Amino acid sequence: MLKQKSCKQCKTKFTPTKPFQQACSPDCFYKLAMVKLELKKKKDWVKEKAERKEKIMTKSDWEKLFQILINHIARLIDHNQPCIATNTMNGKRNGGHRYSVASNPSIRFNLHNVHIQSEHSNVWKGGDNDRYDEGLERVYGLDYKDYVRSLNQTKPLHLTIETIKEKILIAKLIKKELIELGNTYDSAERIQLRNDLNARIGLYLELF
Mean pLDDT of the chain: 93
Give the mean model confidence (pLDDT) for residues 157-186.
97
pLDDT given for residue 56 in this prediction: 81
Q: Give the CB-side neighbour count of residue 135, counting CA atoms within 13 A.
A: 24
For 3-45, what is each residue's pLDDT tens digit?
889 999 999 999 998 888 999 999 999 899 998 888 888 887 7
Predicted confidence at residue 94, as pLDDT, reads: 94
| pLDDT at 77 > cutoff 90 | yes
- C-beta of residue 194 within 8 angstroms of C-beta of residue 111: yes
Angle, helices 161-181/187-201, rounded to nearest 10 degrees: 150
State the pLDDT at residue 97: 97
Give yes or no for residue 188 having a pLDDT over 90: yes
Tell me what pLDDT residue 158 has.
93
Cβ atoms of 99 and 152 within 8 Å: the answer is: yes
Helix (H) or strand (E) segment spanning residue 118: strand 114-118
* Cβ–Cβ < 8 Å for 111, 170: no
Domain boundaries along the sequence of the chain: 23-56, 59-201
Which whole number is the average pLDDT over 45-67? 85
Most confident stretch, 24-33, 43-52, 105-114: 105-114
Give me the percent of the chain exceeding a pLDDT of 90: 80
Q: In the predicted model, is pLDDT for residue 106 greater than 80?
A: yes
Contact 83, 134 (CB under 8 A): no
Question: Does the pLDDT of residue 55 top 90, yes or no?
Answer: no
pLDDT at residue 2, rounded to an integer: 84
